[in-house]
Amino acid sequence: MSDAVKHAGLNLGATDEETHEQAESELFGFWVFLMSDAVIFALLFATYGVMLPATVGGPTPASEYKIAPAFVETLILLTSSFTYGMASIAMKHGEPRRVLLGWMGATLGLGVVFLGLELHDFATMFGDGAWPSRSGYLSSFFALVPLHGLHVLVGCVWLVVMAAQVLTFGLDARVKINLLRLGLFWHFLDIVWIAIFSVVYLQGLIR
């Protein structure tokens, strides 16, 4: 198996062995980072599961969660993964930079819309008196879900930085590796959100 196949989308050329070796080590390091991030989310999920009954007479999951907004946010985030996938394909096949930037812009727009809807959800909960300090359940909820939102915000900023790099440096090997890292990060956020939608929102509504 060639190095080009090992790094789908990283179209660096078959003879650039040194760059491929560099890409392997840098992407491996990023995978280690993602796994450490996954451990943090796993701990927060476990904490949420333990604290779920600890409402002490305050707001409950059934009273605070709204399935329609959460479902719309899920669709938006999944669509953003699709648009970033299209950006990766544009990079792999050497499409004009405006095509790549267009898909990245669409991903950024969807990420911003997701954050806006999530902030609206939090504001609604605050309006109902569902503050993080109100109960153990709410403390664990606001430790888990906003942390994912913070990751999406970081991803949006990263998209802006990468668009600037594409415009400034073009699609050299360093920029391609950075785009691959960003793709791994963005798809990882989707996986975490699917877990939040299933474990937090759906489970909370059926309790």
Per-residue pLDDT of the chain (207 residues; tens, 9 = 90+): 444 434 444 544 554 555 556 666 677 888 899 999 999 999 999 999 999 999 999 899 999 998 999 999 999 999 999 999 999 989 888 889 999 999 999 999 999 999 999 999 999 999 999 999 999 999 999 999 999 999 999 999 999 999 999 999 988 888 888 999 999 999 999 999 999 999 999 988 776
- The residue whose two tokens read 């179209």 is 11
Radius of gyration of the chain (CA): 20
Q: How far apart, in Å, are the Cα atoms of 25 and each of 7, 92, 165, 180? A: 12, 20, 21, 13
103 Cα distance to chain centroid: 16
Residues 23 and 30 sit within 8 Å (Cβ to Cβ): no
The DSSP 8-state label assigned to residue 52 in this structure reads: T
**Torsion sign over Cα 74, 80, 82, 88:** negative
Which tokens sit at 69? 């907004």
Instruction: Kindly report the pTM of this predicted structure.
Output: 0.87
